[in-house]
Amino acid sequence: DAKTTQPPSMDCAEGRAANLPCNHSTISGNEYVYWYRQIHSQGPQYIIHGLKNNETNEMASLIITEDRKSSTLILPHATLRDTAVYYCIVRVRLSGSARQLTFGSGTQLTVLP
Amino acid sequence: NAGVTQTPKFRILKIGQSMTLQCTQDMNHNYMYWYRQDPGMGLKLIYYSVGAGITDKGEVPNGYNVSRSTTEDFPLRLELAAPSQTSVYFCASSYSQGPEQYFGPGTRLTVT
């Protein structure tokens, strides 16, 4: 199973872009990369996912390197409410289309005023 | 839509007691999951279900049981509670082909 490596913590100034890196050097060719976040003791929240191309939605952008061994989640204008633990995840296939989210320890992002 | 709801929010059990954690979703999702999260750690999958009447083990199923008699409900049963089951339990659901799992607010369980 592909594993991910993230820095344990990062700080970011409010209003600036937050760039969260993730290494997934053992990812297979057909595995997607997912990002979730968990705001203090709440249930995790989906942010974005991607396979090869860069992706953008209303929450964030995802940049995946050409060799797919790493990716970066970008929060373009971080706010205090973005303070959370961010998880980079490669899903593990279960039966049928069910997928297990394999959570590591994540990156604690603290947005500073 | 209420999304995924879980009850209770908090519970303290004595060693050897049993309880059922309730999970309900109103999004008509086929897939449902139970995860546990120990302090400072990521989530680990306990059981999952791909539809009513179908359940299967995840990464850490020992000490737990599940059932799925309806699309909406996916209760998790703890038999003979042990201190090692002290954790926060999250239920999630998803569309069969969708990328996103929707999580409930969690149940914080302490076994003493």
Q: What is the pLDDT of residues A56-88, one digit of tens each?
A: 999 999 999 999 999 999 999 999 999 999 999
Q: In the predicted model, what is the mean pLDDT of residues B84-105?
A: 91
Cβ neighbors of A111 (< 8 A, separation 6 or more) are A11, A12, A13, A14, A18, A78, A79, A80, A81, A82, A83
Say whether A42 and B42 touch across the interface (CB within 8 A): no
A45/B41 touch (CB, cutoff 8 Å), yes or no: no
pLDDT band at B99; cut points 50, 70, 90: confident
Does the pLDDT of residue A92 top 90, yes or no?
no
CA distance B19 to chain A (A): 21
A-chain residue closest to B99, CA distance? A49
